[in-house]
Structure 1
Amino acid sequence: MSGPETYELFAIRYGSVAGRLRRDNFIIAPDHPADPHDGPMPLDYFVWAIVNENRTIVVDTGFEYSEAEKRGRKITRLPRDGLEIIGINADTVEDVIITHLHYDHAGTLDDFPAARFHLQESEMNYATGKHMCHAPFGHAYAADHVCTMVRRVFDGRVVFHDGDREVAPGISVHWIGGHTAGVQCVRVLTKRGWVVLASDASHFYENMEGIAPFPIVYSAADMVQGYSKMRDLADSSKHIIPGHDPLVMQRYPVAQSGQQDVIRLDVAPKD
């Protein structure tokens, strides 16, 4: 078996929600000196790209303008257009890791016509099973997105994983659970070491650092256990990238001058 390879790692912001409050982002909000509950705490939407000379793997596919309108969200570009900024053509991407099937992570699947989609089997079971009869579990899923993924199964284009699995040398997926029954994080070897893309295993730095779970949750116990697992997978806490935190954009450098929505995660964060 070949040894691990190293990769460049990018985050592409394609939208944001400005009107959220701290109380919206925690089951029990950690104390905050200014305002423990009602202070603003916006949320960003990202997809990610893992790139070296041998392969390009995209992590998550975001959502489209029609879904944004349904949910009162604002996106600034389609994820495929964000990928084009760093020279990635969605039409030719061969592997896409879907961390989970929520609307903001598993839309625009048709924009990746050549891709195989890597998904935890437990996530597909959850998104098509009995829990979707109940709004607390189902409201963050878009039925059209889930149905599209089912069609990709029948097309032979879904790779199911059960737990932890290497996707390519230096890239692996790891079941976390908690936020959904099958959410997975992605571990990537970069020039600064092992980086973990938490996705919604930790929406914000503060969810994990304060042991304060996000309120959209299947199992709070699994979510908290997931924080420990991600710490074990990453080289340090600074190597864990939360899924929606605007602080990520402040801590990491832009990939290209003049493109403020694309940043490099394979370099050390700013002090």
Structure 2
Amino acid sequence: MYQTLYLIEYGIPIRRSENECVVKYQTRLCARKISSLPFHFFAWLYFDRYGQSWLIDTGCTASIARAFGKVVDTAIPELLAINFDLHAAEIDHVILTHLHYDHAGNINPFKRAHFYVQEVEWSYLNSPTLGAYNGDEFYVESTRRNLNQLADTKRLNLLNGSAQLSDDVSVILLSGHSPGLQGVRINLPHSTAVLASDAAHLLKNLETRRPFPKSFDIRKGVESINTLRLLESEGETIIPGHGLPSKLPHGAHHVQATSLFKT
């Protein structure tokens, strides 16, 4: 189990048009039919070489999902118990790639974990300007409240840019979709996986060099995609935030939990 990465699918997949997923993909000069794309909901679990558990993003609760028109009948804590016999309170580390509802909407069950968040993202969550920018509707009050309570403990680690968190795990600042989005680089035995989170929702964002339309800063989003493409050219495997990579690296597994969901 050591040095193994799991992509845990926690919500009912949906389909979205390319226009919804890729900024300015269709123009007046382009009359091609815009297809729909599969859109998944993931968290990621990694066991490092020392047996420490790293959860990347917490997903959200069923009630928060319903508020956004999504279906989550089995949340991440239950999936950890079902698939890994692992209780949420046993998780050692939680990296929140950013603080949108589907990535940081279920913080409370992880009672002993150390959390890692970019300081600029945490500050923006508490900013009086929150709500004024495209995509700000993805932040929810419960995440702000729960993180601020966590800030009173020694378990919240605020990061300033890219950082090495362990021998196997590092984060890289990939702002654009949100002010302080961070990707996660994981050194597997024979490869490096980069969890792009919503710096690249889907492979289509990487292919077209165009980020998700609802983004805090489109220009920075393009820069982050270029960073991901450079890492990919150097042999690292990019795993999108809401889609599957073209292939999973050795040491990574996709845990499909859709059989647990009501249809």
TM over 0.5: yes
Greater Cα offset, 56-65 or 228-237: 228-237
Native 8 Å contact 1:207 1:213 kept in 2: yes
CA 1:237–1:18: 2 relative to 1, 3 Å: farther
Native 8 Å contact 2:16 2:38 kept in 1: yes
- Residue of structure 1 equivalent to 2:75: 78
Q: CA deviation at 1:238?
A: 6.2
- Residue of structure 1 equivalent to 2:204: 206
Cα distance in 2 for residues equivalent to 1:218 and 1:103: 15
- Residue of structure 2 equivalent to 1:243: 241
Percent of aligned positions that are identical: 27
> Residue deviations 1:133-162, cap 9 Å, x none?
326342011111121111100123210110
- Residue of structure 2 equivalent to 1:28: 24
Cα distance in 1 for residues equivalent to 2:38 and 2:100: 19
- Residue of structure 1 equivalent to 2:157: 159
- Residue of structure 2 equivalent to 1:46: 42
Greater Cα offset, 74-83 or 194-203: 74-83
Native 8 Å contact 1:194 1:234 kept in 2: no
Cα distance in 2 for residues equivalent to 1:236 and 1:15: 32
Alignment pair present for 1:99 and 2:93: no
User: Counterparts in 2 of 1:188-199, with a 5 A limit?
Assistant: 188-199=186-197
Cα distance in 2 for residues equivalent to 1:64 and 1:86: 19
> Residue deviations 1:172-219, cap 9 Å, x none?
011110000000000010023111000011000110121121011111
Unaligned runs of 5+ in 1: 1-5, 263-271
Alignment pair present for 1:56 and 2:22: no
- Residue of structure 2 equivalent to 1:173: 171
Q: Secondary structure, in 3 states, of the residue corresponding to 2:16?
A: coil
Q: CA deviation at 1:34?
A: 11
- Give the TM-score normalised by the residue count of structure 1: 0.84
> Residue deviations 1:39-92, cap 9 Å, x none?
222311000011135111110000001101111101241111222303432111
Q: CA deviation at 1:220?
A: 1.2
Native 8 Å contact 1:30 1:36 kept in 2: no
Cα distance in 2 for residues equivalent to 1:53 and 1:34: 51
- Residue of structure 2 equivalent to 1:269: none
Native 8 Å contact 2:121 2:181 kept in 1: yes
CA 1:148–1:72: 2 relative to 1, 3 Å: same
Cα distance in 2 for residues equivalent to 1:225 and 1:122: 18
AA aligned to 2:191 is: G
CA 1:176–1:212: 2 relative to 1, 3 Å: same
* Number of aligned positions between the proteins: 251
Greater Cα offset, 16-25 or 229-238: 229-238
> Residue deviations 1:231-264, cap 9 Å, x none?
444575660000001x44x8449949xx6349xx
Native 8 Å contact 1:131 1:138 kept in 2: no
Q: Secondary structure, in 3 states, of the residue corresponding to 1:74?
A: coil
- Give the TM-score normalised by the residue count of structure 2: 0.86
